Amino acid sequence: MITEMLSGVSIGKAYPLPRSSFSPAYAKPFRPSFISCLGKNAESNGSSSGPSQLELGNQISDENTPQMRSGKLEGKGSGIWQLFREAQGNILYLNRQRIMAMEELDRVKSEKSSLLDRIEQLERTKLINTRKDKFSISAELLLRIDSMVLTSLIDSKEASEYRRLVMDSKVSIADYFSEIMHIQDTELLVELRHFLGNSRKSGYHIIHICTEMAPVVSVGSLAVYVTGLSRALQRKGNLVEVILPKYASLNLNEVHGFREVEAEFHSCFNGQLHGNRIWTGVVYGIGVTFIEPLNYSSFFSRENIYGYSNDFERFTYFSRASLDYIVKAGKQPDVLHIHNWETSIVGPLFWDVFVNQGLEGTRILLTCQSFESQCIEQPEKLALCGLDSHELHRSDRLQDNKKSHLVNVLKAGVVYSNKVIIMSSMQKKGQVIHATSHGLEPTLRIHKDKLVVAPPVFDSSAWDPSVDKFLPQNYSADNMKGKSVCKVSLQQHLGLLEKASIILVGCIFPDISDIELEKLKNIILTASRRGVQFVFMGSGQTRGLNTALEYFEEELKDENMRFLNKYDVALAHLVLAGSDIMLCPSFDDTLQVPLKAMRYGAMPILLNFPYSKFGHFVDHDLEGTELSRFIEDTFHNMPLNQAIAELKNNRSKWDKKMVDAMTKDFSCDAECCDIHISAYTAIKNL
């Protein structure tokens, strides 16, 4: 190891001392007894028992001394003083050199210590990167196999064998190919054929067809979901790929091996074949394919991802092109995982056009972050991607439940998918159908057996107080001392009274209405009279939210409140760590504040607003996630005033709740990933 090698290296040597300018040749003969170099505390160096400097001076200046004549005394005295001054100068020079050498020694020691720390850090990073490279190499190898198919080096059958080989032997194949990934496809094919052998299937091959993936393109919760779930699935032995549009605004910093595939690829749209450019890269060990339209280049060359009048055309083109690419590349995934309305059209396209093109063993799974956005369109537009509007414009297929003359694209995903996963922290299946379906209730009732509720993907590694770099002192469930330090640091930063015993309530809003602000004002005024401190931060996601909070601050003018009108990542970490309670407008907010609060030892309390769309709904369906059950049992029915009272009067009970919450594993590797794998297994067994 570099560390051991460096630790044995000697530190720099002291500077060589220069020769003294003193030389006996320059001095007149003298008696040794008159010379005495003084050391510490005016003691002589022991070389003689001669007089001290003071005595010597007295002897020289004493005219009554009979042993010396005045002339000799003057000459000898002058020579002695010259020698003494030279010796004194040499001593001072040597002292200066000694001090400089010691300072240099300290500097070199400090540099060595810093260098050792840096080397250890680099070695840890190298170890982490080595682990990541196992997935990255496998992902890159899969993309190279796609390139071989597109350039006709191999057929789809041979490609399927190689993909299965990569899936079943990630570690060994990564070790084998890590040093030769730079070679040409023809040479790589030879190596693949040498490596090929019988392999046993383990895990599923999943392809996400989606419009977002963090950190490449992020707008909402979908981006974090796709990346977090894909990484968790791969850690459990599954093979995951992602297909995205090649937007003009991609963040390519985390895309490794980004390159254009030198092959022609065409897809069908509006009755014609259109050329596309294919780009590939690896993101966190996940193989990503980017589709860039040539004839319809304006579809994804715009500033924003969503919000255009032709969004249906844009994402329908992408969905059809993704399926054309999968067939052209000879892929045979177990599951095509589609998301929200933007890629829901893949459902009917798959079953009506593509299932018999080598995809007989593939199944469809749809994920909905919510049912608010559904995309209602004219039926004749379905022909753009090759679908028959007359066959699909029916009540049991794509016809909208409210506007019967139109088709509903999200409904297409529900009807034509084998499973539908709804992402929610708190809702149960019945609550989703009755309260948050936004007009899809009849469809969801019919397809109720397809529906599965899963908790959101939560990246616990990015929100961990035990290693959080933004905190002044880290802490964990085993040692909570650092949380008090974080509270005082937050109070100091915001100019609040600095005292760890003061209850501090934080709130990070993704959005809030005027009605909610009015309700919140009453809650704050009541709690503030009890000495409770409040910190509010807007997310910056909604226009006008920060302005509303500024007016709110101006109206209340309370010394125990602080309003942060701009979202700051580092400060958000400190707010979570310094707060005893986090007020949450909803347990399903896009910022995942409830999950982060529990991770940081702050109690998530739902704002006591009567706006809940399913607060009075009695759900006889007992299905629910572990996360929803834990939140309901621990925090759900507790208003803010009760939480404050418990914190003041029953600290031991409070601390137990916080430790339980901090030690629960709600990461994407836990329940969320398990629910998805169970859904994949269920649809593969159909």
Q: How many helices (H) and strands (E) does the chain have?
A: 22, 17
Contacts of 273 (CB under 8 A, 6+ apart): 266, 267
Q: Are the C-beta atoms of 336 and 305 separated by less than 8 Å?
A: no
Q: Are the C-beta atoms of 527 and 581 separated by less than 8 Å?
A: no
Confidence of residue 304 (pLDDT cuts 50, 70, 90): very high
Structure tokens belonging to residue 561:
């409140």
Buried b (16+ CB within 10 A) or exposed e, 103-112: eeeeeeeeee
Instruction: Tell me: pLDDT of 215 over 70.
Output: yes
Q: Are strands 603-606 and 581-584 parallel, antiparallel or unpaired?
A: parallel
Q: DSSP letters along 604-634, please?
A: EEE---TT-TTTT---------HHHHHHIII
Confidence of residue 20 (pLDDT cuts 50, 70, 90): very low
Instruction: Tell me: pLDDT of 94 over 80.
Output: yes
Summarised one tens digit per residue, pLDDT across range 394-433 is 999 999 999 999 999 999 999 999 999 999 988 889 989 9
Residues forming beta bridges with residue 339, ordered by sequence position: 367
DSSP code of residue 11: P
Instruction: Tell me: pLDDT of 380 over 50.
Output: yes
Looking at residue 45, its pLDDT comes to 41
Instruction: Tell me: pLDDT of 608 over 70.
Output: no
- Smallest Cα–Cα separation from 72: which of 38, 37, 34, 44? 34
Looking at residue 326, its pLDDT comes to 97
Angle at which helices 185-195 and 156-168 cross, to 10°: 60
Looking at residue 521, its pLDDT comes to 73
Summarised one tens digit per residue, pLDDT across range 96-145 is 888 888 888 888 888 877 777 777 666 655 554 444 467 788 888 888 88
Structure tokens belonging to residue 682:
């269920």
Confidence of residue 497 (pLDDT cuts 50, 70, 90): very high
Q: What is the helix (H) or strand (E) element at residue 82, kind and residue range?
A: helix 70-150
> Rounded to the nearest 5°, which phi and psi values hold at 308?
-105, 155
